[in-house]
Structure 1
Amino acid sequence: MRKRLILALSLVTPVAIAATDPQTDETYGQCIIVPPVPYNPPTTEDANKNNQQIEISSDYSESKLGQSAVFQGDVSLSQADRRITADKASVDQRLQQLSADGSLVFQDSMITVTAESMQAQMRSNVASLTGAQYWLHGQQLHGKAKNLQITKNNNLILQDSSFTTCPPENESWVLEARRIRIDSKDEWGEIWDAKLRVGGVPVFYIPYMTIPITDKRKTGFLFPTFSSSTTNGIEVSTPYYWNISPEYDLTFTPTYMSSRGLFTKTEFRYLAGDDQQGQVNLEYLGSDGKLENSPDRYMFHWQQQGALDENWRVRANFTDVSDNNYFNDLKSDVNRATDNQLNRVGDLGYYTDNWDFGVRVQDIKVLGEDESPYQVMPQLTYNFRAPRFWQGLDFSLYSELTNFEHRGEDWNSADRLHFEPTITLPIQGPAGSLTSELKLLQTNYWQHNIRDNELQETVNRTLPQVRVHGQINFERQTNYFDENYRQTLEPQFQYLYVGYRNQDEIGIYDSADLQQDYTGLFRDRRYSGLDRIADANQLTLGLTTRLFDEHNLEQLKFSLGQILYFENSKVNLYSDELRQESSTSVLAAELDAHLYSDWFISGAIQYDTRYKENKKSEVTLDYRPGPNKLVQLSYRFVPDLLNRNTNDRVDISQAGFRTTWPVTNSLYFVGNWYYDLNEDRSVETYTGFQYESCCWAVRLAYHYHIKTNYQDNYNPAIDNRELFETGFYLNFVIKGLGGTGPLGVDDMMNDGLFNYRKPLYLRN
């Protein structure tokens, strides 16, 4: 008799543990069920030769040659990747049948089962266990079955069974079924006559369903969501996922809105080879019951990007909607309500180390605006780079040929040819850098169908540009508040000269004002695009200082800068604009600092030193003591933003409060509140609670926010549209039934109009 094998009890007892943040030792509502350890047979040469051989050890055995054998006392049987331990086992050699009972444990690479008894056919490798409890290896799924059959292909068939992903001591939900079949190869399960119990109470009956048993994608229904709002009424969404193939999938989400009707959303994703991917979204609401005349409303979106080969790249993006208020009224999967520009673009480019060539078409649709931008149909670009081509000089060439078209009949069109050769002398070292740059800006316009008397059919514009930029790096060791720091001092300057040419005879096709923040002070252009290149004779001075702690982590950054004008620019974006006469630009400053312990501050200001006016300011104060813990106070101010279409001036003076905080290890709170100080009203309030355990999650949220209302083709008057919307939202997910649950605190912080980000990046 060979030495008996010993199986420890811990191998068949799952344990639930809570996930812990390594930095804080705080649990945060996630837990992992530690399943039994799978049986890993020894890879001996004899076992590889004959995987049908059965090895048995026990304390006592009795056998009849060629007929039967009985084993008792700590019995252990192993065959290939399967092992059985029991108090008693018997083998009928004539029928090739194995029976076992008493403290029975069955293990293989896929499953661990404890049972009352087992019958197995040794020829077919089929086993049947009664009174079974099972655990799937590598998963949190476990359950019970009156009868469990293991087929020769390692598939499972369970009769009168149940399963859950909750820990055994706290089974918040259990799915009971008459029959379950689990396919080990395709990694999915079929369930017949299923009853879902939550907290011991039956809540749902499903005659047939399929579920994935791993993270592998599987066709089927996803979890529904419920909400109620003052504009849409009661909403119920039931997404359906179709796993068409490894390269294609589709999600169809019908949503019933009691105030509007049936709203359907379809998302189709695809892979085009190894290096390209894309998706198509189609959303449709037929006969909107909330609006007069019950119009049909729709949204279409297509995007694709990737590489055709080693050099060719392609990108396409197209979105269209039925009306201006589509994103304001309906929750789309493509754009947010705060997005009012639809950028339709197609790019094809060829890239090498020294040159690249591109073709682009672009059309921007601005929702709520009477005037639409020009279309780029098409634009050809060519870039050439020759670093260190002679005596340390760099040479580059940017060129483009662009055709501008417009949908309106009263608008002219134009062709623009632009060349921009540049010679640069870069001098760089540890102590600083000095870059000298010489450009020639050569632009030709051919303008057609001119209706503005100021414009000319043919314009030839040649402008020289000289730019010298330098920076010096100083640093020292210092001490603040009994802490050692390394402090840097980084003064920089830029001299910019651009020649003058009256450009009122050129139309505005793609030019607009640029921001004058600290980084913008060192640009070489005042306007985007090429239709207006402002003359310049100016000097920019800037200074940045940083503090680094002993671990070389940046604790403070402060920048301050201003432009000194030797001559005022004579070029404005529009000929009827008042010319700005000032010897200096705004004084721009930015601050990002770790104040103390868990306190952080970020801010930016643009201050007019001539008129003593605040042109723009933003500031946030954050308290971040740990993961998912945040309290933020913010304020931003932007005065007198002129809308040229309506001649309205709009001031933004807005205070905000945002917080996320764990109430318990499993319960989180997220809230924000933004207040318009000029209008003396709240513009958004969001409150959300999320509870998440090992095996289920629920989120309840309240959202009150201002609505953007545009004049539209179906409803030119906006007075009868709601100015504010109030909504309640409920998400519920049972983990292990195809749902992954709410995406956590980060997802909740992006639910409102204002995403969580430093206001330094909030642009009006």
Structure 2
Amino acid sequence: MTLSHTIPRALPPRRLLAVAAALALFGGPVEAQTAAPEAAAPAAPTSAAGVSSCPLGAFHCPARPESFALCRPNALLEFYDPTLPRDAALRETSDTVVDAAHVDSSNRAVYRLSGNVRIERADQLLRGDRIDYNDTTTDYDAQGNVRYQEAGELLSADRLRGNTQANRGVAENVRYQLLQSRGNGTAARGELLDAQRSRYNLVSYSTCDVGHHLWEVRAKSLEIDKSTGVGKAHGATMRFADVPFLYLPYFTFPVDNRRKSGFLYPTFGSSNRSGTMFAIPYYLNLAPNYDATIEPRIYTQRGAMLAGEFRYLVPGTRGQLNFEYLPNDHGDNSSDADPTKGNDRWLLKYGDATRLWGPWSFTTSINRASDRSYLRDFGNDLYTSSIGTLASNAYIRGRGNWWSATFGADSYQNVDPYLPDTVVQYKRWPRATLGMDVPITRWLKFGMDSEAVAFRKENAIEGNRLDLYPYVDADFRGAAWFVRPKLAYRYTAYELSGNYATYGYRGPLSTTQVSPFGDRTPSRALPIASLDTGLVFERATSLFGTTYTQTLEPRLYYLYVPYRNQDDLPLFDTRRMSFDYWQLFSPNQFSGADRQMNANDLTAALTTRLLDDDGVERLSASIGQIHYFAPQRVQLPNSATTAAAPTDWTRSDYVAELGVQLTERWRLNSAYQWSPNTRQTDLGTLGLQRRIGADGIFNFSYRYRRNYVEQYDASAIYPISERWRLLGRWVYSVRDQRTVEALAGVEYDSCCVALRVVGRHYVVASGPVAERGRTNNALMFELVFKGLGAFNGQTEDVLRRGILGYQ
């Protein structure tokens, strides 16, 4: 017969169930939260979700979250009961229901249940062929096909016995599955030593489907201590496709969210400059608010290196220190200009952000290398190895409702072995800024941009500069129009170093040259006036059967800046900015304060847009041109002492821009500049991005700038199945008539493993003439064990930089 009875007190099965739960691998009992059966195998993401995760045209996409969508939908232990409640909070208020074919209570202290025994309370369910429980001693013994389920885990064993009062228990031939973290495995024997400690023999762990472990960790013995949050494994082997590839006789690991000291995955790589590299990082959990990582490395061509990272977080302050040190470099010199053989080589990076008081904070970023070839020799990716300048700075910053201020310094280091130090920017040592934006009325405001800075650089003219830029502007607008007048005054003054007369714009003068700096304290002062006006017209229209709102937006911008001779002013941080659409409305074509262009210009521009019913811009097209009523007399020097001649143009380039995204699948961007003065194209760009399925993409771009560059760039991620994706990129230079960079790779994704293999071929961009055009090759791979992390992770950053929209 079947016995069905509600037992509120006599049999304390809640404790019995907790003991069963405690024999899961991570030493429960598990405080589970609501978990659906699908938690073990989430549904695959839809196309819409894949598209919306990274907008079209985004330069860099966030890393794709770890997904188990390719796991088997019902990869659960066979005794899973989907009808149980999924809320562990119901346990305290729920009764315990016991069902059994037979019950023997002749001994009032011992309950003997047999025949498909079922003990259920809320989300907990314990089943077995026979369960004996001593109500006096709280000993229990469950035998034969013991199965336990709760919202967070499943557990089976041949036999389960112990004592609930002492929190002791022994299970034999254990299988377990953690539903929310997907961990599952087996153990020949599991022991619950007390409420905090458990021990297992011949145990395994994986996040793959039950019974189909592509990767697995096996250990001869495993001990878990919940009070310390530490697990200890002896004789552990990590296997891939049932082939052991990593053996650790002993290691410790965290079993909860507490950090734990221990070894991380080893990494290795290869380059033609430093040989094969192998590294094993070790993580140090020093305190809750600071930690460190020590990483010994071996470079076969250069020797042993010690690298490390230190992070800290205290109230109001956070920071990070990275260092690398290699004594007595054994390798060949990287370049004749920067010999490194036999030298100690190092790299230092330090960043800190500290809140001081009120609106004030302190930030710093220090980046220094031992020599100019360091990043080229030891950069672990092509982006790092191509950096030419390391920037360092330290600033105190403050901000209020209508003001902002900074005080600090900037320094730069040349890390390109083939370029002279003269190309490095001036050190700004020190530098102070003050910005103001004070509303006077609803439509009128007063503002000011000011800067005081000292410029320092060896073998170049040095000095101090004060730049004051107060202005008053107004903003009158209606629903379909705006008028923005602005009146500004710019005053810039210098105090040059004592030997200023021995330098020209580009360094020391020869004995036959005359310095352009005739005054030690030159200055410049001039007014700047502008008027920006525009109209906005709208109408309803349709395109390809879809209704849109089309706008027509004419705009006029007038700028007046009187001419001032600035040939006696040095060039500390000023460059001519690239001409583009937004330069049509800029008061200065030069960056920095050393040059202020003269102007008597009128810009005419026209923009049209298509907006869908949700207000999303689907198309934008603009064209504009500047009409010069006076020649541009302020020019940068074309020699050490002489400025370039004024232009006699009456019109600027025609500048046109186009952006189209009529669907969520493709986007097109284009820009074009044509000069009516030379009757030549100065710039042309075209970019096309097309999504392929849920996780594929195709990019094509063309870049042309007259006398500088002409390149084609194509890249793609092509999904050939839900598990396999092909990756590729090709960059071709028309001017050089050769491939600048080629990338090809393959990506495999499965339930619990992802694999990427990428090969790159690229041209050395800089260096002596004999080395320019030489090619380098790189082969990188990354193996991701889902739930544990990436082994030899090298490819993801490279792919994200190289393929627009990679995720």
TM-score (norm 1): 0.87
Closer, same or farther: CA 733–211 of 1 in aligned 2, 3 Å: farther
State the partner residue of 1:373.
425
- Give the whole-Å Cα distance in 1 for the aligned partners of 2:204 and 2:102: 37
* 1:531 Cα deviation after fit: 1.1
* 1:613 Cα deviation after fit: 1.6
- 2:155 pairs with one of 113, 138, 141: 113
* Map 1:672-691 → 2, pairs under 5 A: 672-691=729-748
- 1:300 pairs with one of 337, 348, 357: 348
* Map 1:94-109 → 2, pairs under 5 A: 95-107=137-149
* 1:154 Cα deviation after fit: 5.0
* 1:343 Cα deviation after fit: 1.9
State the partner residue of 2:763.
706
Query: Quick check: 587-596 or 455-464, which moved more?
Result: 587-596
Structure 1 residue 586 corresponds to structure 2 residue 638: no
Structure 1 residue 436 corresponds to structure 2 residue 485: yes
Q: Is contact 1:28–1:665 with CA below 8 Å preserved after alignment?
A: no
Closer, same or farther: CA 95–334 of 1 in aligned 2, 3 Å: farther
Q: Is contact 1:709–1:723 with CA below 8 Å preserved after alignment?
A: no
Deviations 1:193-249 (A, max 9, x none): 112332233333221123345666433333233434444433333333333333223
Q: Which runs of 5+ in 1 are unaligned?
A: 48-53, 641-650, 711-716, 759-764
Structure 1 residue 724 corresponds to structure 2 residue 771: no
Amino acid at match of 1:405: R
* Map 1:202-601 → 2, pairs under 5 A: 202-213=244-255, 217-273=259-315, 275-286=316-327, 287-291=329-333, 293-332=341-380, 336-366=384-414, 367=416, 368-371=419-422, 372-387=424-439, 389-390=440-441, 392-406=443-457, 408=458, 410-449=459-498, 450-451=500-501, 452=503, 453-455=515-517, 456-574=519-637, 575-594=642-661, 598-601=665-668
State the partner residue of 1:619.
686
> Among the aligned pairs, what percent are the same residue?
26
Q: Is contact 1:374–1:510 with CA below 8 Å preserved after alignment?
A: yes
Amino acid at match of 1:325: S
Closer, same or farther: CA 24–569 of 1 in aligned 2, 3 Å: closer
Amino acid at match of 2:435: N
Q: Is contact 2:348–2:369 with CA below 8 Å preserved after alignment?
A: yes
- Give the whole-Å Cα distance in 2 for the aligned partners of 1:337 and 1:545: 43
- Give the whole-Å Cα distance in 1 for the aligned partners of 2:691 and 2:38: 36
Deviations 1:634-656 (A, max 9, x none): 2111233xxxxxxxxxx311111
* 1:117 Cα deviation after fit: 0.8
Amino acid at match of 1:382: L
- Give the whole-Å Cα distance in 2 for the aligned partners of 1:129 and 1:13: 25
Amino acid at match of 2:407: V
* 1:55 Cα deviation after fit: 7.9
- Give the whole-Å Cα distance in 1 for the aligned partners of 2:151 and 2:551: 59
- Give the whole-Å Cα distance in 2 for the aligned partners of 1:690 and 1:130: 41
Q: Which runs of 5+ in 2 are unaligned?
A: 8-12, 18-34, 51-65, 334-338, 504-514
Secondary structure of 2:385's counterpart equals coil
Amino acid at match of 1:579: P
Closer, same or farther: CA 392–756 of 1 in aligned 2, 3 Å: closer
* Map 1:137-156 → 2, pairs under 5 A: 137-156=179-198
- Give the whole-Å Cα distance in 1 for the aligned partners of 2:722 and 2:274: 34
Secondary structure of 1:361's counterpart equals strand
- Give the whole-Å Cα distance in 2 for the aligned partners of 1:666 and 1:500: 65
State the partner residue of 2:88.
40
- Give the whole-Å Cα distance in 2 for the aligned partners of 1:536 and 1:25: 50
Q: Is contact 2:4–2:97 with CA below 8 Å preserved after alignment?
A: no
* 1:302 Cα deviation after fit: 1.2
Secondary structure of 1:20's counterpart equals coil
Closer, same or farther: CA 28–377 of 1 in aligned 2, 3 Å: closer
Closer, same or farther: CA 601–333 of 1 in aligned 2, 3 Å: closer
Amino acid at match of 1:432: W
Q: Give the RMSD, CA atoms, in angstroms.
A: 3.3
State the partner residue of 2:506.
none
- Give the whole-Å Cα distance in 1 for the aligned partners of 2:89 and 2:147: 16
* 1:394 Cα deviation after fit: 1.0
Query: Quick check: 262-271 or 483-492, which moved more?
Result: 262-271
Q: Which has the higher strand share?
A: 1
Amino acid at match of 2:530: R
State the partner residue of 1:3.
5
Deviations 1:381-422 (A, max 9, x none): 2223321x258421112322222222x1x4332222232221
- Give the whole-Å Cα distance in 2 for the aligned partners of 1:741 and 1:30: 21
Amino acid at match of 1:281: N
State the partner residue of 2:25.
none
* 1:572 Cα deviation after fit: 1.3
Q: Is contact 2:39–2:180 with CA below 8 Å preserved after alignment?
A: no
State the partner residue of 2:221.
179
Closer, same or farther: CA 748–701 of 1 in aligned 2, 3 Å: same
Amino acid at match of 1:370: D
Q: Is contact 2:782–2:794 with CA below 8 Å preserved after alignment?
A: no
Closer, same or farther: CA 334–221 of 1 in aligned 2, 3 Å: farther
- Give the whole-Å Cα distance in 2 for the aligned partners of 1:557 and 1:214: 52
Amino acid at match of 1:454: P
Query: Quick check: 691-700 or 195-204, which moved more?
Result: 195-204
Secondary structure of 2:584's counterpart equals helix
Q: Is contact 1:514–1:526 with CA below 8 Å preserved after alignment?
A: yes
* Map 1:13-52 → 2, pairs under 5 A: 17=41, 19-23=43-47, 30-31=69-70, 40=88, 42-44=90-92
- Give the whole-Å Cα distance in 1 for the aligned partners of 2:520 and 2:736: 47
State the partner residue of 1:631.
698
TM-score (norm 2): 0.82
* 1:115 Cα deviation after fit: 0.7
* 1:536 Cα deviation after fit: 0.9
* 1:108 Cα deviation after fit: 6.2
Query: Quick check: 263-272 or 144-153, which moved more?
Result: 263-272
Closer, same or farther: CA 587–239 of 1 in aligned 2, 3 Å: farther
Secondary structure of 2:375's counterpart equals helix
Q: Is contact 2:91–2:122 with CA below 8 Å preserved after alignment?
A: no
Amino acid at match of 1:383: G
Query: Quick check: 495-504 or 376-385, which moved more?
Result: 376-385
Deviations 1:528-561 (A, max 9, x none): 1111111111011111111123443322111111
Amino acid at match of 2:686: V
- Give the whole-Å Cα distance in 2 for the aligned partners of 1:757 and 1:467: 40
- 1:126 pairs with one of 168, 176, 179: 168
- Give the whole-Å Cα distance in 2 for the aligned partners of 1:424 and 1:532: 23
- Give the whole-Å Cα distance in 2 for the aligned partners of 1:613 and 1:264: 55
Closer, same or farther: CA 277–606 of 1 in aligned 2, 3 Å: farther
- 2:720 pairs with one of 663, 675, 687: 663
Q: Is contact 1:15–1:34 with CA below 8 Å preserved after alignment?
A: no
* 1:585 Cα deviation after fit: 1.5
* 1:485 Cα deviation after fit: 1.8
* 1:483 Cα deviation after fit: 2.8
* 1:457 Cα deviation after fit: 1.0
